[in-house]
Every structure is written in C-alpha cells, then in structure tokens.
Amino acid sequence: MSRPSYSEIVASLPSVTPFVGPETIERQQGQPFRVRIGANESAFGVSPRAAAAMSEAARGVAWYCDPEGYELRAELARMHGVDIDNVTLGAGIDDLLGLIVRMYMNPGDAVAASLGCYPTFVYHVNGFGGRLETVPYRSDRNDLMALTDLAAKRKARILYLSNPDNPTGSYYGSNAIADLLERVPPDCLFILDEAYLDFVPTDTILPFDVDDPRLIRVRTFSKAHGMAGARVGYAIAHKEIIRTFDKVRLHFGVSLVAQVGALASLRDPQFVASVVKAVEAGRRDYVKLTEDAGISALPSQTNFVAFDFGTGERAEAVMNALIERGVFLRKPAAPGLDRLVRVTVGTPEDRAIFSELFRDVMKGM
C-alpha cells in the first residue's frame, strides 16, 4: 500500500534510541532492580520543600504554565548575576540541546565533539541531518586543543563540550575553559553542557560573559537538585540568542509542576549542599572499593565514578553480571572509553548492596 513519505532527513535515520530505560530491562528480566545506579539520577531525592511545592502545584495543574517561566527565570538570573533576558527554560538539557542544534546547524553541516560524548547530543545532530566530527578523549579527558582544532578544520557550526564530563567524570576549571573559548572559531557556537556543575567547587567555575555571542551554557535540575523526572533545565546566553530560542521552543513545554519545583529547590540551597556532600562521601567509597578490587577509578567531579576494567570485554562482563544480580548500570561504548563502567553514587544503603555484589562478581572474574 502506498503511504505518505517521511521527510528526507527522518527517512535516513536509523532506529536507535539514545538510552534504554531501566524499566525496559526490568520488564525483560521480569523483576525490578535492587539498586538503580545507572543513569546518574540523584539517589538523595528532591528537596522536601520542592516536593511540597510540586504536590501543591499538582492540584492546580488544570492551568497551563507561564509560557515565559518568569518567576523561575528571574530567580535564576538573580542567582547568576545576569539579566532575565539572558535565561531561557527547557524541558531538561535534552530539550535545549535539540533546540540549539536546530538553531545553528543546517543539514549537512559539521558539528565537533569528543568521540563518546553524551548520546542525546549525537541523537539531535543526526536527527537534524548534521555530520558529527569527533576527536578521541586523551588520557580519559576531553582533548580541548584537539576539539578547537577540529572545529576550525571542519568548519564546525557547533562545538559541544560536557564539563564536568559525562561519561568520564573529568573536569576543567575556569582557566582551561577560558583558554578554549579564546580558540573557538568566531563562527562556531560553543555549547557548554554543565549538567554536573553543582558538584564542583564554585571558585573553579568560569564567570558568565553574556556578551559573548558564541557561547550557550546549559544546566539542569536533574542531577544535584534531584528532579530528573520533572524535566527542567535552562540555558544562559546572550540575550539575542535567548530571543531566538523563542522562535523554536515549545512555549508551554516546561510543566507547571517542574517550574514550581525548580523554584522551590533553588530556594533550598542547604538541601543541594547536603546532596553534594553526600555524593563526595559516596565517591570516596567507590574509590576505596575499586582499590580493594585491584582496579582503578577515574577521578570524578560528578555524581558518578567511572570504574576502569582495563578492557571493554571485562567491563562488559562485570556490568552484565551485576545487571543480572539486580544492579542497574550503564557503560560507554566508544573505543577508548569502553573499558569503563559508569557507577552513579547511591545512598549508603545502595552502596552497601552494590559493594557486596561487586566484590562477589569480581571474585569470579
């Protein structure tokens, strides 16, 4: 039977989803996971104040959200010392990355990133018909010099960097990022994905320069704020760029519940500070665990630790054995990174269960 044709770009896309959810694996395995430490969610939950605000908001959910997200944007602007016109909201960084790719990239254009970077960014570049150009990680860190060289050489429209990095956990401070910005070609948009920035010391963070028309910084409430299931993130950039988001974004796309919850969470900084502290303790536990097992772990400034199993085969074997035993985990697949398994910091109880299972699995390897 004849049928309407898909658009040229969509017709050419493979059936690949960026991430399989743990619920899917649970349905396949016929049992729930005991420990969920595979998606860098926050095991420490959401601020009780934010939860209360969202519960209240749920009763008023018959009303559309404020499409301008005024109150949340105003609070973010105040906190970051920028103007409200320098802030836009999105339904998580995933949403914002799609919009940015659409805003800056024509089909066929080159985009530069590290080989093995955040899969949803790659999904958007492919999804809008772009051409991803990559350089490998170097010593398990993004190779900043190679990235800007690549962007210049390939005339990339966009350069993407996750800092702190996912999936390695590595981090560059303000000086390195400022140096990189000096080298970004003037006609290349630089996306600085700061999803994990809540976990780094504040004095290492590059100050905002919203006069730079080459830079969009994106952040999220999904990590330290413990709101992954609410879908809310934001971008900070030159106000002309923020106005351009208004030409493509879903104006009612950030739910009322998410907006209210994010605002309440911002006003509970003690909660986020306590999460950051708990995560630091968890990272130390994981480092000790790897040392005891005779393997290494990459230094991390995030809410996860990349365990280094030396080879992709061994990493895969250990991960699969742990998944079978009820631990939800993920690992990078890119060459050079495939020897890693990314372990999210769980609660002390999660870590106790995981440690026991991990030691057990490692004995058999």
- Residues of span 94-133 touching its own copies by CB under 8 A: 94-95, 98, 102-106, 109, 120, 127
Question: What residues have CB less than 8 Å from 313, skipping those under 6 apart?
Answer: none
Residue 273 contacts its own copies per CB under 8 A: no
Residue 348 contacts its own copies per CB under 8 A: no
Which CB sits closer to its own copies, 229 or 335? 229
Contact present, 239 and 210 (Cβ < 8 Å): yes
Secondary structure tally for the chain: helices H, strands E: 13, 12
Residue 162 half-sphere exposure toward CB, CA atoms < 13 A: 25
Query: For 135, which DSSP code?
Result: E
In the shown chain, the binding pattern of residues 313 to 342 toward its own copies, with x for contact by CB under 8 A and - for none, equals ------------------------------
Residue 188 contacts its own copies per CB under 8 A: yes
Which CB sits closer to its own copies, 173 or 208? 208
In the shown chain, the binding pattern of residues 5 to 24 toward its own copies, with x for contact by CB under 8 A and - for none, equals xxxxxx--xxxxxxxxx-xx
Task: Tell me the two tokens of residue 225.
Answer: 């704020």
Q: Is 313 helix (H, G, I), strand (E, B) or coil?
A: helix
Stretch that binds its own copies, among 44-52, 77-85, 142-150, 164-172 (CB under 8 A): 44-52
Q: Is 236 helix (H, G, I), strand (E, B) or coil?
A: strand
Q: Is 233 helix (H, G, I), strand (E, B) or coil?
A: strand
**CA distance linking residue 199 with residue 222, whole number of Å:** 13
Residue 110, phi then psi, degrees to nearest 5: -90, 145
Restricted to residues 285-314, the positions that interact with its own copies (CB under 8 A) are none
Task: Tell me the two tokens of residue 37.
Answer: 């430490």
Which CB sits closer to its own copies, 304 or 309? 304
Which CB sits closer to its own copies, 95 or 140? 95
Give the binding-site size for its own copies (rule: CB under 8 A): 88
Residue 57 contacts its own copies per CB under 8 A: yes
Burial class (CB within 10 angstroms; exposed 0-12, middle 13-18, buried 19+) of 117: buried
CB of 36 to its own copies, least distance (A): 7
Among 164, 233, 261, 312, interactor with its own copies by CB under 8 A: 261
Which CB sits closer to its own copies, 101 or 200? 101
